[in-house]
Amino acid sequence: MAAPTSRLLELLSLLQSQREWPGTVLASRLGVSPRTVRRDIDRLRELGYRISATMGSDGGYRLGAGEHLPPLLFDDEQYVALTVALRTAAVAGAGIEESALRALTTLQQVMPSRLKHRLDGIRFTVSSPVSAGPVEPELLIALSSAAQTRDVVRMIYGSDEIPRRVEPHDVLWFGMRWYLLAWDRSADDWRIFRADRITRQESTGVRFAPREIPSGSAREYVEARFKGSQTGGWPCVGTVILQRPASAVLPFAGDGTVVDLGDGRCEYTSGSWSWVALAASLGRFDADLEVVAPRELAEAFGVLAKRNAAASK
């Protein structure tokens, strides 16, 4: 059984994670009796947290929303998650870099001392593409709000002079850039817009019915389009035998698969947006290879050989 103080923090964390918890479920999660849960709920109420209860065999507890709640408390895992999220937000290109750093400083000042040394060990670098321009937070908020309310947006994109009328479906952070996935009414098709190239947008006040996104979700669709596919996987997938041990290939395999064949050889399967691009990517292993399948990959090596020969003259 957890100590009373840590148990209260865990209970509060659970109550903050969803609207209502059955008392028996809370007791099971905390490893205590329903009676102990009721006592802990009373302690939280004494601290100022407004927690309502429903009666009956399926009775539960709900943490009330409002402006007068005491400061939120976080458990150790939440402190770690917030630290990583804020350090990433500091380079997200959304115009919140300074605010994220100030929030991180505030978080470090209030977190338990036992965590400071642990979190000081979290050091990582998030690279940002030079070509990606800054994106104002107000733009991201407006686009996200339009996606939630299903509001048609009129916007100027890139060098366009004529406004586009689009149906925003989602705003995504992908490949170190912010994107808007929307149905373009002019093109009568899905389009992926870089948020940093949207120079002006405004609501039209016209509502639209949500459309089914190909590939299931916005992220899956965007990932597929950047692979040159409509289904989520690479459009061109091939298999080769490399004259290198699997241990030497694995660190550079990316999303490919490696099968150890012994005798310093391995079978490698990977994909790309074209057969020639796939053939060229296999050159990074600097090894003799044998094409297993398909025939298109073998033919692509022939095309690549001609291009390389011409470039060497």
Q: What is the pLDDT of residue 56?
A: 63
Are residues 268 and 249 located together in one domain of the fold? yes
Q: What is the pLDDT of residue 64?
A: 74
19 in a domain, yes or no? yes
Are residues 221 and 242 located together in one domain of the fold? no
Are residues 116 and 146 located together in one domain of the fold? no
User: pLDDT category, 119, cuts 50, 70, 90?
Assistant: low
45 in a domain, yes or no? yes
Are residues 181 and 241 located together in one domain of the fold? no
User: pLDDT category, 126, cuts 50, 70, 90?
Assistant: low
User: pLDDT category, 1, cuts 50, 70, 90?
Assistant: very low
Query: Over the chain, what is the mean pLDDT?
Result: 81
User: pLDDT category, 72, cuts 50, 70, 90?
Assistant: low
Domain residue limits at 34: 4-63
26 vs 2, 20, 163, 263, 311, CA distance in Å?
14, 10, 53, 56, 69
- Alpha-carbon dihedral of residues 205, 206, 212, 217, nearest 10 degrees? -10
Q: What is the pLDDT of residue 149?
A: 92
Sequence-distant (≥ 6) Cβ neighbours of residue 136 within 8 angstroms: 94, 95
Of residues 33 and 68, which shows the higher confidence score?
A: 33
Q: What is the pLDDT of residue 110?
A: 66
305 in a domain, yes or no? yes
Q: Are 264 and 296 in contact (CB under 8 A)?
A: no
Q: What is the mean pLDDT of residues 207-213?
A: 93
70 in a domain, yes or no? no
Q: What is the pLDDT of residue 67?
A: 36
CATH number for the domain spanning 171: value is 2.30.30
Q: What is the mean pLDDT of residues 90-117?
A: 68
Number of domains comprising the chain:
4
Of residues 175 and 301, which shows the higher confidence score?
A: 301
What SS3 class is residue 244?
coil
Residue of 165, 170, 180 lying closest to 212 (CA atoms): 170
Are residues 108 and 159 located together in one domain of the fold? no
Q: What is the pLDDT of residue 130?
A: 45
**Whether pLDDT at 268 is above 80:** yes
Q: What is the pLDDT of residue 269?
A: 94
